[in-house]
Structures are given as C-alpha cells and as structure tokens.
Amino acid sequence: MKKIILLILGSLSLNLISCGDGGKSRIDKIKSETIKTPEANPKGIGEVKNVTLTDPLEENMIKSGKAIYEMKCSACHKLTDQRVVGPGWAGVTNKRRPEWIMNMITNVDVMLDQDPEAQKLLEECLTRMPNQGVAIGDARDLLEFMRQNDLDKTQQKDQALTKN
Amino acid sequence: MKKTKIQKIVWFLFSLAVFVTACSKRDSKTVLEGDAASQAYVAPGEYDEFYAFLSGGFSGQVTAYGLPSGRLLKEIPVLSKYPENGYGYSEETKAMFNTSFGEVPWDDTHHIELSQTNGEFDGRWLFVNGNNTPRIARVDLTTFETVEILEIPDVAGLHCAPFVTENSEYLVSGTRFSVPIPQRDVPIATYKENFEGLINYVGINQETGEMSLDFQIRMPGFNYDLARNGKGKSHGWSFLTTYNSEQAYTLLEVNASQKDKDLLAIVNWKKAEEYVKQGKGKERQTSYYHNLVNERTSIAESKEITTTTILDPADCPDMVYFIPVPKSPHGCDVNPSGDYIVGNGKLSADMSIYSFDKLMAAIEGKDFAGEINGIPVINYESGLHGILKKPGLGPLHTEFDGKGNAYTTFFISSEVVKWDVEKLEILDKQSTFYSPGHLVIPGGETRKPFGKYLVAMNKITKDRYLPTGPELAHSAQLFDISGDKMKLILDFPTKGEPHYAQAIPASKIQPNSKKFYKIEENGHPYAAKGEGQAKVVREGNEVHVYMTAIRSHLAPDNIEGIKMGDEVYFHLTNLEQDWDVPHGFAVQGANNAELLVMPGQTRTLKWEPFKPGVFAFYCTDFCSALHQEMSGYVRVSPKGSDVKLMWGLNNENKDEETLREMLKEQERSQ
C-alpha cells in the first residue's frame, strides 16, 4: 500500500515538474540559461578579464582604495588574516589572481552562484558577501590597497600569479 | 381572526425575504465570462502593465497596486505617521508633520495627481492632499518616499485639491469649508458676512519638484469640491465645482440642497499670473509651514512662511467666472481634447456637459445672467454642449478612454455608465459593488488615456469578501474596457478609503526606480560611512551613537556608560549597497517606533532610558541567515554613577580617551 502511495506521489511530482516547464517564469528562464556546470577559472567570472599590475605601487590608488575599504568593506574584512564575517585580507593577492579578486568585488552574486572557489568561501563564512556597488575602477584601487597591505603584513604580494 | 393575522405577517415576511434575496442576488453576482480570470492573471515572476496609486482616505497614506493583477505593491507613508518604518518618528522625518497648528500626525488623503508634461503623465512626482489640516504632499516616484509637505493657509478641509495643469505649472486647490479669514472669534450665524473661500495656486519647480504657494484668489464663501484644469485648447483655465451656494452653516444635508443649481467656477490662471506680475496681489499676514527633505542630508527641514499673495476678482476683471451647474455637483472633468467639461450634479438626474468654445464665446459676448461679488455668472444654456439625460442616480466622477467615450460612476444606483461625449448617448451600464466614489482609467484624465482598464473604487463592501467583523476593507472592481461593453474581471480589497487614484504605464516608472542610496553621497551629519567611524559621543546629557549595519552585525553592539536622564540618539547607517537589503533597528522600551534604514541611508531614533539595567537592541528586518545574531546590548547606569562611556564590537571596546588618542594619531599620520 505504502509503495503504491509513493508511486502515485512520485509520478505526481514528476508530472508537476514537467508541467512547470511549460509555464516557466522569466526568472527561471534566466536562471536556467546562466547556471552552467562550473569550471574553475582562476580569473573568476565577470567583466574583468586581464589586469596589468604595475610596480612600484600607485600611491593615489592605494589612498583611494583605503578610503573605499573603510567605507564599504571594513565591517566584514580585517586587514590581518583573521576571519570575522568574511576572510581577513592579509595575503589575499598571494592566494587569488587580481582578476578573481576584482570579479568577486564587482560581480559577487554570479561569483557566489557559479565560481567554485567563491562557493567554498560561502560554505565557510555562511554569510553571502553583499554587492557593495563598487565600480570596476574602484575595485582596481581596492586591489592596489590589498597589494600594499600584503606587503605590510606578509612581506610579499601578487604570489598567486606565479602559482598559475 | 388571530390566525389570519399571523398568517398575514408570516406571508409578508416570507415575501420580503424572497424579495431581499432576489435583490441581493441580482446585485452581488454578475455573470463572469470564462476568460475573465486569465485577463487579470499575471503569472508569478511577471510584472503588471500599470502602476495604480490609490489614496488612503482616513489612513492618510497612499497605496501602489499593480494592474491588472490587483497586487498590493507598497503602502507609501505620506500624511500619517508610520511606526512600521519610523516615518514621522525618526529625527529625520519628524519635521514633515509641522504645521501652523503644531505637529499634526494624521491627515485624510483624497486625490492623487501625477505630474504631467504636455498633458501626459511623466512619472516624476505624485501629489496628494491632506483634507483635514490643509496640506499638499509630494512623493518622489524614483524612491516612493514622501519628500515634501506644504501647508495651505486660511482654508479648511482642502478637499478640492491638488489638481495639476498639463505641464505641471500649478496645483490648483479650493477650500471645502469657508471660514473667517483671518481666523477670528465670530458667531457662526454671521457666515454670510464673515466667511470667505479661497482658490489656491501652488507652483512647481520644474527641476526639483519643489512646491511654493504662488497666489490665492479670494472667493465667495461657498464649498469648493473638485476641480480640473483645461488641456489643449483649454490649457490656462481651471474649472472648480462648488456646492452650498446657499451659504448654509447647519444641516447642510437639507439647507445646502435648496437651490436647483450650484455653480462651476472658471478661472483664467494665465490672467491671474499676469495680475500677480503687475503687482495687483495684496500681501496678507498669515502663517503656514513648508517641510522639505534636504536631498544631501535626507533630513526634513521645516520653515514657517508668514505672508501670502491674494488676488481679489473685484479688482481683477476677466479672471474668474461662474456658470450654474445642476444641484450639488461633485466631479468636474475635462475630456482629452480639452473641448468639454463634464459637471456631475450629485442630486440631479441629468449631467451637464459644457463646451469650452461656447464658454469662451459667452465670455466674449458678455452673455451674463448677473454677478456674485464682482464675478460674472454666465448664462447656463449659453455654455452648454448638451445634457446627458437620466444616465443613473448620483453621478460623481468621470474619466475618458481616448476613443471619444466617457465613464461615470453613479453612487446611488451603484454603477458605471459608458457614454459618448460628442453625441451624448449612453452606450453601456455595469453594476459595481457597491456605491462607487471615484473611478480611474490609466491616464484617464490626461490628453492620452490608456483605455484598457477601469477601476471603480467603492465606498460600501458588505458581502463581497469573507466578513472581518463590523469593519470591512473597501472594495475595488477592475473592468476591461477595451471592447464595446465593460467587462468585470477582478475584485480586490483596498487599504483605508481610496477616494481618487491615478494609474500610469509601468514603463514610465520602473526604469527610474532607485535601488539604493549611494553611501558616497550620504551627507547626513551623523552618518558613519564605514565601520571605522562607528563611535559614541557624549555632549552633556545627549549621547550620540554613530552605528553601522551590514549583514549581519551592528557596530558598536556593546554600549556602556549611559546614565539615567540621558537622551540617547541612535544614528544608524546602513552600509549595504545592494537592492532590497534594508536593516531595521529596535530597542526595548522605545516610546516612539522602530527604524527601517534603506541601503546607504542614515536614520535616527531617540531613546530615553526608563530604568537602569541592560537592554537589548536588534535588527528587525530579516536580512540574512545570521539575522537573529544581529543584535546588541546597551547598559544603563543610575544617574551620577562612574561607569565610563565605552563601546565596541567583538571585545574591541573603546572609550572616549582611547578615541581621542586615535584621532590624534590619525591627525599625525595625515
């Protein structure tokens, strides 16, 4: 008897699912179009494809990056390696490529949905990183500030580039 | 003998019951065609085609609905305080309720007007009147927030408001109750000598939307009810209905319904503008408040204005006229071409339709029947396009579909009637449930109506929905008017008492809708733009908490050193920069309300500790998986205790001394 009920329920739910396909809402359509099997890209997903890093560091960019950090990021990210809400920033440019960092900042919702590394971080931190409305140019300034912070805290920077 | 009497009574009751049942069946059930539901159906995830903004009447607010689904999208707090988000309670919004009568926390919203350009809705601003303590409010349609409230002086019951001209030059309004001007202590029975009316013109700044009372016109002491402005060829003129031309001041129900006709006031506002420029206006001392949100700080600022400019028709010829209109009119509505003005006499069986050309010819030819206080009265027949004979009982309000048809609500006979404006022929009648006041067609009062839907807003609901005790939500009915016959397709409850509404294609609002406030542009003096700026500052017995919120913590979340007798101001800045992430703030025992703070915004709640102890505060808007953790404590010590002012997050507590050192450090490094 139980089996029969299960069977009925099973076929009913199948039926419901197949029915649902016909009347897909716009959101579902967008979702099904954008969610593809993730393939780890060390550069992440987003508009930022190639970043040219310069040495020595740009003082003006560091200054602007610091101001943005203080306003939009410092509530969750410390400059040490201590995780509070999100991971601490010390050493981030040694672990992540500059494109990945900038895509994470500017395209965070897609990254959290599709990028395997970003998803791992979400599992650890359990709070979705918010979209803080940072423009790509501003994200570049943040990156410069991270590079300076890495030099201060770990005496090296940009090591992720040599790993990949 | 006895038996037959009882039998008779029983028979009578029985037949009465049959009659009543038959009646209510006929009234409450309309045969719906099979596809009615699909016409109003908007699938999950899909959007409505129109926004409809309904006034809230005694709720004092405005609601936004989607059409055709009837989905409630938002209640916009406008003229009543709103503890749900702190509107009127937060330090930033308190000043919105300042009037010459002090703080007036409630009003009665009646008529919605959307801003227009070239006689079409442009989607910039929404205006609505406060009936009780006369005010006009402006809502910014990029944020759906009330940004301005202007009091109108020396009037009472600002029902006849705020009607917009076709390029949003002015909002015209008229007093519903005439009163002594200036207000003074006189016997009510001296109405005829002492009571006066006013018609007001509020100018609108085309860049900012800011309102200013440009001039007022002195009028006889009648009751001014509703108005419309001309469009196209009649642009530059306003039309206002009056009732109580009898000038009764008691039992108006009877005494203001004596005359066969009341009057329609016709104002040449371009002429009035000229007179103001020529200096024909007289400055009069008065008092009214203008409350405006400063865009940079997002704080409402209030100022009292003490003079007003009055134009007297006796000194300003060719500016104001009257024409008779049948008994106690309500609506007066101008068709899309601007050729015809429909006068709805509430107590008349017929409707009078005036021709703008004929009115102009009558004025030109001085075809007058007399004058009232220097205002010429045009001969009724001379201005008439024609009469719509016996369309129904109690005509209230008319809108248009842009195809030559008008639609009028009939309060007493509970119906909407469709009629041909040019030919004055009745085309269709449909029942509404029950007793409609206004109706709305998207763009139905503009030069370009979207004649697809009509919503009748009913005053009486009775058996339409499951009962909810003595008080029922008012009902609205949506009709498809795209065909020859009107078709009822949806019935939905509304909030408060919607009087008038306006509806606009979603495409005129949706693309401009703001998603968050840019934190970089936050100019609030107590904003903490970043967690590093979170701090607590004591100034005498005032304590200012500069607090930040981001998923999922408040900073600082431990505060100590508050003493009894302190006034604590929690200034909460929402650091989020993403759509749909407001944070809330509530603290135990707050005698005012809570705060809802939009991303990038700063809002302030004043809190006066009630007793020593440790009290919790928390985020009230479920923001993330760790929302329950988004909380903190404030410690209150007795007056005179030596607990140091300290605050912090995650045991990184700071006190005033530490902070001073940090500031010095910062100065040195710069």
| Candidates B521, B531, B652, partner chain A, best to mutate (most A CBs within 10 A) | B531
Structure tokens at B577: 């920069």
Q: Are B104 and B90 in contact (CB under 8 A)?
A: no
Residues A66 and A146 in one domain: yes
- The CA dihedral of B259, B261, B262, B268, to the nearest 10 degrees, is -150
Q: What is the CATH number of the domain that holds A88?
A: 1.10.760.10
> What is the sign of the dihedral through the CA atoms of B91, B95, B101 and B105?
negative
Q: Which helix (H) or strand (E) holds B614?
A: strand B613-618
Q: Dihedrals φ, ψ of B21, to 5°?
A: -60, -45
Residues A116 and A139 in one domain: yes
- The CA dihedral of B360, B363, B365, B370, to the nearest 10 degrees, is 150
Residues A141 and A94 in one domain: yes
Q: Are B221 and B196 in contact (CB under 8 A)?
A: yes
- The CA dihedral of B609, B610, B615, B618, to the nearest 10 degrees, is -70
Structure tokens at B335: 């068709």
Q: Using pLDDT thresholds of 50, 70 and 90, give the confidence band for residue B26.
A: very low
Is pLDDT of B108 > 70?
A: yes
Residues A46 and A9 in one domain: no
Tell me the residue type at B192: K
Which residue of A74, A128, A131 is in closest CB contact with B531? A74
Q: Where are the alpha helices (DSSP H) in B87-174?
A: none
Poorest-confidence range of A25-39, B60-74, B151-165, B400-414? A25-39
Residues of chain A with C-beta less than 8 angstroms from the C-beta of B557: none
Beta strands at B453-458 and B436-440: parallel, antiparallel or unpaired: antiparallel
> What is the sign of the dihedral through the CA atoms of B16, B19, B22 and B23?
negative
| Candidates B517, B529, B533, B550, partner chain A, best to mutate (most A CBs within 10 A) | B550
Q: Using pLDDT thresholds of 50, 70 and 90, give the confidence band for residue B670.
A: low
Is pLDDT of B199 > 90?
A: yes
Residues A129 and A145 in one domain: yes
Residues A69 and A141 in one domain: yes
What does pTM read for this prediction?
Answer: 0.89
Is pLDDT of B39 > 60?
A: yes
Crossing angle of helices A136-154 and A98-106, in 10° steps, is: 130
Residues A93 and A13 in one domain: no
Which pLDDT score, from 0 to 100, does residue B168 have?
Answer: 98
CB contact under 8 A, A75 and B548: yes
Residues A55 and A134 in one domain: yes
Domains of chain B listed by start with CATH number: 49-250+271-512 (2.130.10.10), 519-669 (2.60.40.420)
Per DSSP, chain B holds a count of helices (H) and strands (E) of: 8, 47
- Domain count of the fold of chain A: 2
Q: Mean pLDDT of all residues in chain B?
A: 93
Is pLDDT of B259 > 80?
A: no
Residue with the larger pLDDT of the pair B640 and B348: B640
> What is the sign of the dihedral through the CA atoms of B77, B78, B83 and B85?
positive
pLDDT tens track for B436-457: 999 999 999 999 999 999 999 9
Residues A89 and A23 in one domain: no
Cis, bond preceding B80 (omega within 30 deg of 0): no
Q: Using pLDDT thresholds of 50, 70 and 90, give the confidence band for residue A19.
A: very low
Q: Using pLDDT thresholds of 50, 70 and 90, give the confidence band for residue A1.
A: very low
In sequence order, what DSSP letters do the residues of B158-188 get, joined into one string?
--EEEEEPTTS-EEEEE-SB-EESS-----G
Which pLDDT score, from 0 to 100, does residue B166 have?
Answer: 97
Q: Give CA–CA dist B246/B263, Å, rounded.
A: 11
Poorest-confidence range of B252-256, B337-341, B461-465? B252-256
Q: Once rounded to an integer, what is the mean pLDDT over residues A99-106?
A: 97
Poorest-confidence range of A19-28, B135-144, B514-523, B595-604? A19-28
Q: Give CA–CA dist A101/A99, Å, rounded.
A: 5
CB contact under 8 A, B45 and A27: yes
Residues A14 and A89 in one domain: no
Q: What residue of B is the nearest CA neighbor of A72?
A: B530
Which pLDDT score, from 0 to 100, does residue B24 have?
Answer: 40
Is pLDDT of A24 > 90?
A: no
> What is the sign of the dihedral through the CA atoms of B410, B412, B414 and B419?
negative
CB contact under 8 A, A130 and B578: yes
Which pLDDT score, from 0 to 100, does residue B344 have?
Answer: 83
The residue range of the domain holding A117 is 38-163
Residues A80 and A111 in one domain: yes
Q: How far is CA B467 from CA B398, B435, B437, in A?
A: 31, 18, 22
Which pLDDT score, from 0 to 100, does residue B25 have?
Answer: 38
Which pLDDT score, from 0 to 100, does residue A14 have?
Answer: 41
Q: Once rounded to an integer, what is the mean pLDDT over residues B495-518?
A: 97
CB contact under 8 A, B519 and A72: yes
Residues A73 and A148 in one domain: yes
Which residue of B46, B555, B626 is in closest CB contact with A75? B555
In sequence order, what DSSP letters do the residues of B316-349 get, joined into one string?
STTSEEEEEEESSEEEEEE-TTS-EEEEEETT-S
Q: Count of CB atoms within 10 A of residue B469's CB?
A: 5
Which pLDDT score, from 0 to 100, does residue B19 have?
Answer: 40
Q: How far is CA B462 from CA B54, B392, B474, in A?
A: 21, 22, 9
Which pLDDT score, from 0 to 100, does residue B2 have?
Answer: 45
